[in-house]
Amino acid sequence: MDILIQPSILNGTIHSIPSKSQAHRAMICAALSGHPKLISIEKPSEDLIATRQALEILRGAGTADCRESGTTLRLLVPLAAALGLDVTFTGEGRLPRRPMEPLLSLLTQHGIRVSRPALPFRLSGRLQSGRYEIPGNISSQYISGLLLALPLLEGDSELILTTGLESSAYVDMTLDCQKRFGIRIGDKEKGWIIPGNQTYRAPSSFSVEGDWSNGAFWLAASALGSEVEVLGLSEESLQADRRIRTILDRGETDTDVREIPDLVPILAVLACGKKKTTVLRNCGRLRLKESDRIASVKAMIRSLGGRIRGDGDDLIIDGTGSLAGGTVDSFGDHRIVMASAIAAMICREPVLIREAQAVSKSYPHFFTDYNTLGGNAHVI
């Protein structure tokens, strides 16, 4: 599906969609508590549908199709291992090429058999309690997956980080969700102590908060000249991407994005709307997203007539205040689609987005909301 967008200014009020990151974790905790219907998401994204369907392994399903959702895969693999399930994990798109080490090796050291090191693979055996050591700078989802799983083991465990932790806010979100479902986890130097033989207990209610990652696109639209009010974003949220508010308020032109990689596409567009140079530092982990997001962000900006270059893991954007317009390849990346749509606001000519259906991964009704706010986006 290709989308053609005529440049226009947006105006109005939008309700934030539910936080995908929190919803994944809440759905898993609710399923483990025996109350999966506690978490109800209206118009769920493809990633959340993947988690909901993959959780059928708790009811005897032998296959977990994670689609393109890295979160689904990395959170459910340790869980299946802890429960002693014999499950085949599958996926599509770039997911089979996204790394699963050192998580799989760590699981095999504690009693799990894995048929092969990449998707599709079969998982069997039962995870044993003990000391788990893992780097904290590859994927916080490995750590969240282990935190969700280890309380279910018979004995106590320790989870120790061998490096500093990146994307720590996502781990904090996992721990907060577990606490709300009655799970006790203690802190220790460079890690956590996880008592075994615990049971997830459903609270009387659980409301998934608004999503700062996707709300950032509308906030950026306002910074670029539109007037969009975004409702439902908690200023007390644990989501790392709430930092978009600070970046916009300060007018930052030099930002370390190590903890906020999902904001990079829209931050690059924002940089084009300024008549100055912006540096986005420590973008390295973007190479392992739905696309090689360093390459796809550079391609997006250049396709629209902007000036961007790389310097190691940094991106440098020389803003001119506007863009020309043109044709953008989404590379199957939902955040490239949404960033390109917001970029159309500052373009002199229309923007054509190839494979715009990728937006369904996180925000299926994005273009409906876009047009409701006065945008001019149509399938061609």
Look at residue 343 in the predicted model and tell me its pLDDT. Answer: 98
Query: Between the CA atoms of 344, 348, 352 and 353, what dihedral angle is there, to the nearest 10 degrees?
Result: -30
State the pLDDT at residue 289: 65
Question: Which residues are the active-site residues?
Answer: 262
Domains 3-16+210-379 and 20-194 share a fold: yes
Model confidence, pTM: 0.93
Distance CA 80, CA 58 (A): 8
Which CATH superfamily includes the segment(s) 3-16+210-379?
Enolpyruvate transferase domain (3.65.10.10)
Q: In whole angstroms, what is the distance from residue 10 CA to residue 33 CA? A: 43
pLDDT in tens, the chain (380 residues): 999 999 999 999 999 999 999 999 999 999 999 999 999 998 999 999 999 999 999 999 999 999 999 999 999 999 999 999 999 999 999 899 888 989 999 999 999 999 999 999 999 999 999 999 999 988 899 999 999 999 999 999 999 999 999 889 999 999 999 999 999 999 999 999 999 999 999 999 999 999 999 999 999 999 999 999 999 999 999 999 999 999 999 999 999 999 999 999 999 999 999 999 999 999 988 876 667 899 999 999 999 999 999 999 999 999 999 999 999 999 999 999 999 999 999 999 999 999 999 999 999 999 999 999 999 999 99
DSSP 3-state percent helix, strand, coil across the chain (nearest 5): 40, 20, 40
- Rg, C-alpha atoms of the chain: 21
Domain residue ranges of the chain, discontinuous segments joined by +:
3-16+210-379, 20-194
Helical residues (DSSP H) of 33-166, grouped into ranges: 46-54, 70-82, 103-108, 140-149
CA distance 26 to 147: 13
Q: What residues have CB less than 8 Å from 339, skipping those under 6 apart? A: 217, 265, 266, 268, 269, 297, 300
Give SS3 for 173: helix
pLDDT value at residue 41: 94
How far, in Å, are 74, 109, 212, 247 from residue 260 at the CA level?
A: 19, 32, 11, 11
Cα–Cα distance, 104 to 113 (Å, whole number): 9
CA–CA gap between residue 297 and residue 311 (Å, rounded): 14
Architecture of domain 20-194: Alpha-beta prism (3.65)
CA distance 169 to 273: 29
Phi-psi region of 352 (alpha: psi -120 to 50; beta: other; left: phi over 0): beta
Q: Identity (one letter) of the amino acid at 351?
A: V
102 preceded by cis ω (within 30°)? Answer: yes
pLDDT of residue 290: 66
